[in-house]
Amino acid sequence: MSDTRFLSFIEARHLRGLLGLDLAPPTIEEAYDISAGVMAALGQNIGGWKVGYAPDGTPVAAPMYASGFLNSGDSWVMRSDRPMIPEIEIAVRLAHDLPPNPRKPYVRADIEDAALEYLIGIELIERRIPMQGAPFPMNLADDLGNVAYVTGPATRDFRALDLPNLHCRFWLNGKLVTDQRGGHASGDPLKPLVDWANAQRDQLGGLRCGQIVTLGSLTPLVIMPGPGTLEAEIEGFGRVAATIA
């Protein structure tokens, strides 16, 4: 790993600064090195994971810092030099570890058995890399843009939910911008977690009891250019809200 690249990512994460494309790591493996190293250098603890896929379909995950978790109704101060991207998501709070390299591949039922509860959340994305042209490893090294996560109501009756077809509504500054059923890119919101559980390759200890794993957006891209209010509702969960200052 380049010392210059590593130090630049530390500074960008600490100061919420911007990185140039010349600092892009060449591989996903180096991206995981940077992500883990930055967290250690900043003395941060992991509160959870953001799971998803690389452009080629490879399961990936980025850590979410424990210090970035907010409660519904809290405020977050956005940068004035870039937009905020909010995503409405379902997340899983783990009741026990899901160790890497299982003897048999994890299936959906294993993830359900490992879950304490599911919850509604608003992920706040603030990219510290260029909005256009950044190769995927750079996005992964930037923790997939995660800066904070607003947690809302939870349910332990999650097996009764039809996850792929839940009704989701999202309000930005009091205006309804999303009103739909389903919407997850994988169809089943739990699929990215099943796939990542089987592919774990991070350097931060993997999926652990108590962590919150967010499963990906249910809503189309919304770019928030300035301060405002966010509110969302998912069938079976209730409402979550945040103020962006």
Residue 185 pLDDT exceeds 70 = yes
Q: Residue 28 in 3-state DSSP?
A: helix
Taking Cα atoms as reference points, which of 46, 42, 45, 48 lies closest to residue 13? 42
Query: How many beta carbons lie within 10 A of that of residue 192, not counting itself?
Result: 23
How far apart, in whole angstroms, are the C-alpha atoms of residue 17 and residue 113?
40
139-158 average pLDDT score = 97
Q: What is the pLDDT of residue 187?
A: 95
Q: What is the pLDDT of residue 43?
A: 97
Q: How confident is the model at residue 1 (pLDDT cuts 50, 70, 90)?
A: low
| Look-up of token digits 């879950």 | 115
Residue 220 pLDDT exceeds 80 = yes
Residue 2 pLDDT exceeds 90 = no
State the total domains in the chain: 1
Which residue range forms the structural domain that includes residue 99? 3-244
pLDDT digits (tens, 9 = 90+) for 27-55: 999 999 999 999 999 999 999 999 999 99
- pTM passes above 0.85: yes
Residue 206 pLDDT exceeds 70 = yes
Q: Count the alpha carbons within 13 Å of 231 in the hemisphere toward its beta carbon.
A: 9
For the domain that residue 106 is a member of, what is the CATH number?
Answer: 3.90.850.10
How far apart, in whole angstroms, are the C-alpha atoms of residue 21 and residue 133?
8
pLDDT digits (tens, 9 = 90+) for 83-136: 999 999 999 999 999 999 999 999 999 999 999 999 999 999 999 999 889 999
